[in-house]
Structure 1
Amino acid sequence: MARRLVRAALAVWALNELAEDGVLVATELVSNAVRHARRASVRVVVERTAQGTVRIAVADLSCTQPVACLPGLNEDEGRGLLLVAALATRWGSDERRWGKIVWAELEARR
Structure 2
Amino acid sequence: MVETGAGPMPAYTETLPRSAESARRARRLVRLALNVWGLTGVQDTAELVVSELLTNAVLHARRDQARVTVVRLGEGRVRVAVVDLSKDCPAPRAAGGGAESGRGLGIVEELSGGRWGVDPLPWGKRVWATLGPEVEPGE
Same fold (TM over 0.5): yes
What stretches of structure 1 of length at least 5 have no aligned partner?
none
8 Å CA contact retained: 1:17, 1:108 = no
Structure having the higher helix fraction is 1
Distance in 2 (alpha carbons) for counterparts of 1:35 and 1:96: 19
Q: Which moved more, 1:59-68 or 1:36-45?
A: 36-45
Which structure is larger by alpha-carbon Rg, 1 or 2?
2
The runs of at least 4 aligned residues of structure 1 exceeding 6 Å deviation read none
Percent sequence identity is 49
Distance in 1 (alpha carbons) for counterparts of 2:28 and 2:64: 18
Cα offset for 1:106?
0.3
Give the alignment partner of residue 97 of structure 1, picking from 122, 127, 133: 122
- Aligned residue for 1:74, secondary structure, equals coil
What is the aligned-residue RMSD (CA, Å)? 1.3
Q: Kindly report which structure 2 residues correspond to 1:56-75, keeping only aligned pairs within 5 A, or say none.
A: 56-75=80-99
Cα offset for 1:27?
0.5
Q: Which moved more, 1:72-81 or 1:57-66?
A: 72-81
Compute the TM-score of the two structures, normalised by the length of structure 1: 0.93
What stretches of structure 2 of length at least 5 have no aligned partner?
1-24, 135-139
Give the alignment partner of residue 66 of structure 2, picking from 39, 42, 45: 42
